[in-house]
Amino acid sequence: MIDLGLRHAQIRDLLALLQSPHQISISLALMDMNHRFLTDMSDRLLTGQVNFDTTADVVRSADLNLVDPRGTLSINPDSPEDGAVFINRMIRITYSVGDPLGERWYHIPLFTGPIVKLERNDITVQVYLEGKERLAFANVSNPKNFRSGASVTRILKFVIEDVIGENRYGLRSLKKKVNKNISISRESVPWDLIKKFTKSVGLHPFYDGRGVLRCRRLGARSVFLFDDDWIVDRPDFTYDPTSIVNSVIVVGGKPKGSKNKIRVRKDADNNHPLSPRRLGRTNKSGDLVPRFYQKVIEDSNVKTKRSARARAKRELRVGLLQGIDIQATVLPMPLLEEGDIYRLRTDDTDVQARMSKWSIPLTHEGTMSLGKVKRVSLRSRRRRTKKRKKRGRK
């Protein structure tokens, strides 16, 4: 879940507001490619939604329907106005939640990314946005070679800072070094390089709602519960055997004084519905033949049995979650991020899954789709106060 810097009591209050009558206010900030604020476009929003799809090249996307009855919203790339909307601009979307009286508000950065497409239709302008990783799909203009033994941190910083020009990122120092020469050529795709090297150390890269590139380790425990207070329609869920991992083998390096590499195997417990035993079949002799969906990880930086067992256990938890597909309609929950694990519980179902596909409406009406990207933004009733426009869900 995105960290808003709130105390536990404030988080509880925010979650209580999200599942009860409350107001929402959507802020649209037009920025240049360096996050410099240009103008506020909040009062132009008619409808819109933010979509998440972790199976796509660019996870976050958004489409906005902006009102422009007088044609004052310039979509000309050569316009000298700071308010010109074109593909050399970004938009930040902030989803604010307030109590019915508007006495306390919580501001959630939901999306930051460049404009990728514009369409003018009569009195409206349709704006399509994608996450900032879209900016990391251009080819490399400054190729470079790294010798064997170079640190992964050094390579990643070069790609992030010198290739894609990113200055908003979080990356802790990594001990791992590459064991072969690395060539970053003009044909290389920067985002593919970032994913490759972060994956080699067990990290997941993504741009958060603030437009900050983060590299984190995917968790293995649920961070949020969707129960009957959140679920709108009866959920559907299936198991997908093509993406299951129920056994993990970790092959590490050679400890000092040993001729053999560290090797550890971890299988799912027999009582798990996706374990090799539970998925097994009985042969003619009456013997159970377990069915393994195995993942092999080779990492020379793993030098102890203890670290290998911990890695195998963590990867197994992640792999077991990949085999569950859930589709449900729930109340909008804007705090969740790609890779978060959630728990869904009804009278007859209690399962866990990883956030992979969902859509959040930017209007006071509409629900959040879970497990599927679809149209969720219904319509917008604009109400004004002296200070700001507010929308409420009742």
> What pLDDT is stored for residue 272 in this prediction?
84
Dihedral of CA atoms 230, 243, 307, 153 in degrees, nearest 10, equals -90
Do 210 and 256 reside in the same domain of the chain? no
Domain end call among 317, 335, 354? 317
**Rounded Cα–Cα distance for residues 193 and 205 (Å):** 11
Three-state SS at 199: helix
**Rounded Cα–Cα distance for residues 147 and 145 (Å):** 7
The two beta strands, 341-345 and 224-226, are parallel
221 alpha-carbon distance from chain centroid: 16
CATH of the domain at 197: 3.55.50.10
> What pLDDT is stored for residue 381 in this prediction?
41
Q: If phi over 0 gives left and psi between -120 and 50 gives alpha, with beta otherwise, what is residue 243?
A: alpha
Is 48 a domain residue? no
> What pLDDT is stored for residue 322 in this prediction?
67
What's the alpha-carbon Rg for the chain, to the nearest Å?
24
Q: At residue 354, what is the residue type?
A: R
Is 60 a domain residue? no
Three-state SS at 305: helix
Is 146 a domain residue? yes
Do 148 and 208 reside in the same domain of the chain? yes
Number of domains present in the structure of the chain: 2
Tens digits of pLDDT across the chain (394 residues): 999 999 999 999 999 999 999 999 999 999 999 999 989 999 999 999 999 999 899 999 999 999 988 777 766 656 666 666 777 899 999 999 999 998 999 999 999 999 999 888 888 889 999 999 999 998 898 999 999 999 999 999 999 999 999 999 999 888 888 889 999 999 999 999 999 999 888 899 999 999 999 999 887 788 999 999 999 988 887 777 677 899 999 999 888 888 889 999 999 999 887 899 998 999 999 999 999 999 999 888 788 999 999 989 988 887 887 667 789 999 999 999 998 999 999 888 788 888 989 999 998 878 999 988 888 776 544 333 334 444 444 4
> What pLDDT is stored for residue 23 in this prediction?
94
Is 274 a domain residue? yes
Domain end call among 297, 317, 337? 317
Do 251 and 312 reside in the same domain of the chain? yes
The pTM of the full predicted model, rounded to 2 decimals, is 0.81
Three-state SS at 44: helix
Is 376 a domain residue? no
The two beta strands, 144-146 and 182-184, are antiparallel
**Rounded Cα–Cα distance for residues 155 and 182 (Å):** 9
Do 208 and 265 reside in the same domain of the chain? no
Is 341 a domain residue? no
Is 370 a domain residue? no
Three-state SS at 16: helix
Is 292 a domain residue? yes
Do 158 and 204 reside in the same domain of the chain? yes
Domain end call among 317, 342, 376? 317
The whole domain housing 261 covers 244-317
**Rounded Cα–Cα distance for residues 140 and 157 (Å):** 14
Do 202 and 252 reside in the same domain of the chain? no
**Rounded Cα–Cα distance for residues 63 and 121 (Å):** 14
